[in-house]
């Protein structure tokens, strides 16, 4: 398997890339952090998307993991057009474009795996994070539609929706929130943040042959957060 992971420099993406077996192709904006991989491509998804699409085609990627994303915590009347444009490009437009470039080879093989890392915010909504919630909800909808479109070719498409995750981004989001991390944990049924390794484990299952019948699913990996409190 030739596996491409976006946002692989740290956090969830790094955990995924380091826990999978196959030829790993890692992408991120941070070249220094990518040097731990044999195959890497430095890019900003808001600016270098077409180049990354060419890289995908050149390397016959048959497992695509769209992990890279950005988060904005702000009231809607305080965001500007550039913020809306950038988060939409990175969180929604980029995954769709990369899928479009990976699918021809997958169709040729009549096998492929596409996993989009969404968010529980795209399932439930999150106050003061409407841009993030909207783009992640769009990713969930696109995954369902693509699962139907690509099923006959042996290609599965699924979304994993993490809740609060113990990463640099997760902790920064907690700091930007009006609630403390302890207060956030108190609202999570399991009273903990998810680990990146748990998400990596779910990815590993979804690309396996045992999961070939799992497609079009939106899987909430959130310590019970989506169920209620």
| Of 97, 96, 72, 95, nearest in space to 83 by CA | 72
Q: Which residues touch 141 (CB under 8 Å, ≥6 apart)?
A: none
Annotated catalytic residue within 55, 97, 132, 153? 132
* Known catalytic residue at 97: no
| Residue whose tokens read 């900003």 | 44
The edge-to-edge listing of strands for the beta sheet with 63-66 is 39-42, 23-28, 2-6, 63-66, 112-117, 155-162, 218-221
- Judged by DSSP in three states, 67 sits in coil
Distance CA 97, CA 114 (A): 13
Question: What are the Cα distances from residue 196, in Å, to 134, 152, 199?
Answer: 23, 32, 5
| Residue whose tokens read 């943040």 | 193
Find out whether 7 and 66 touch, Cβ atoms under 8 Å: no
Find out whether 187 and 215 touch, Cβ atoms under 8 Å: no
Find out whether 16 and 65 touch, Cβ atoms under 8 Å: yes
Which helix (H) or strand (E) segment is 155 a member of? strand 155-162
Supply the residues annotated as catalytic. 132
């Amino acid at each position: 398997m030739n596996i491409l992971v976006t946002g692989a420099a740290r956090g969830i993406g790094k955990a995924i890339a380091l826990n999978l077996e196959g030829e790993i192709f890692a992408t991120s904006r941070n070249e220094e952090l990518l040097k731990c991989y044999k195959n890497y491509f430095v890019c900003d998804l808001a600016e270098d998307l077409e180049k990354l699409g060419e890289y995908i085609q050149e390397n016959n990627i048959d497992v695509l993991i769209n992990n890279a994303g950005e988060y904005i915590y702000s009231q809607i009347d305080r965001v500007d057009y550039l913020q809306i444009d950038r988060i939409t490009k990175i969180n929604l437009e980029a995954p769709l474009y990369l899928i479009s470039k990976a699918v021809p080879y997958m169709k040729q093989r009549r096998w492929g795996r596409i996993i989009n890392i969404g968010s529980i915010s795209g399932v439930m909504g999150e106050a003061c994070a409407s841009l993030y919630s909207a783009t992640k909800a769009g990713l969930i909808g696109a995954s369902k539609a693509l699962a139907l479109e690509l099923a006959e070719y042996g290609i599965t498409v699924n979304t994993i929706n993490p809740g609060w995750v113990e990463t640099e981004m997760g902790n920064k989001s907690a700091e930007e929130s009006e609630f403390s991390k302890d207060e956030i944990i108190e609202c999570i049924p399991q009273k903990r943040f998810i680990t990146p390794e748990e998400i990596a484990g779910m990815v590993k299952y979804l690309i396996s042959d045992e999961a070939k019948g799992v497609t079009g699913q939106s899987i909430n990996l959130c310590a019970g957060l989506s169920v209620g409190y």
